[in-house]
Amino acid sequence: MGALELPSASPLVLRGRRFDAARPAVMAIVNRTRDSFFSGNRHADLDAAKRALEDALEAGADIIDVGGVRAGQEGEDVDADEEVRRVVPFLEWARSSHPEVVLSLDTWRSEVAREAGAVGVDLINDTWAGADPELVHIASETGAGYVVSHTGGLPPRTDPVDVTYGDDPVDVVRDVITTLAEGARVAELSGIPAERVLIDPTLDFGKTTANSLEVLRHTADVVALGYPVLQAMSRKDFVGETLDLPAEERLEGSLAATAVAAWLGAIVFRAHDVRATRRVLDMVATIRGDRAPLIAVRGVPRPSGENAR
């Protein structure tokens, strides 16, 4: 029997830390908003946001992703000045309190990224696929990594309506791959090294549930583009619609999707539920053969007199 062949993940390197198949990264979400779709991650209060970051690190987070605006159009209006007020003081506190932590800024606005750049942000998470073409250049100028996303051409904070990519179910996969490849090329031309270009199929954004599930099945094809892959699936609508569950009851479905994507080579996972996601990723990495068990004594000979477990 030949060796098991699995998709080979490209590593992500940020702030001197390397994330790869042996050590996938949990990107913990800290929403500085009052209207996150998931009520468990609303941290408009600064002290609550600080506690959320501390809890995430204790639970095994590798990256902290901070956002100041809800992604969907149902949320409150937030201009750039207000977004800066929400995220920059928190990032300043996070950098001074935890100088080693990898900090990510979730924004589509270059002016917000420019203000946060002085703090030492390590990653710009551009969820809206280059809607602001200056954003990738700000990431390059500040030495940050950059997330290339796919939204089907929709502008920021637009919920998908009458989405279509063609008659063939895999047409959405082709569009995702083409868009991510071009976005990654632009990021590299802007001066960002490939090891800091993170590509995200961006499930739910500009996609029906059927689209998102099809793209998830083809995670290995996204991995084959040769860049580290982010999957942001935690408690999203495609999970909720698949199981007919509200956001508060989507943990198990999110973890199932996480396990599949990790098996297929994704290495960064944006998550509300850090501890559970960390354990799933470590287990999948070990099943894949990329990570050793932390302890392996079952069935192993012991010195005489030592009790078996």
Structure tokens at 232: 């942001």
Choose the catalytic residue: 236, 250, 278, 288. 236
Structure tokens at 172: 């959405």
> Is the Cβ–Cβ distance between 138 and 112 less than 8 Å?
no
Within 13 A of 248's CA, how many CA atoms are on the CB side?
3
Annotation marks residue 270 as catalytic: yes
> Is the Cβ–Cβ distance between 105 and 115 less than 8 Å?
no
State how far the Cα of 265 lies from the Cα of 8, in Å rounded to an integer. Answer: 6
Show Cβ contacts of residue 186 under 8 Å, excluding neighbours closer than 6 positions.
130, 136, 148
Pairing of strands 12-14, 17-19: antiparallel
Radius of gyration of the chain (CA): 19
Annotation marks residue 185 as catalytic: no
Active site members: 236, 270
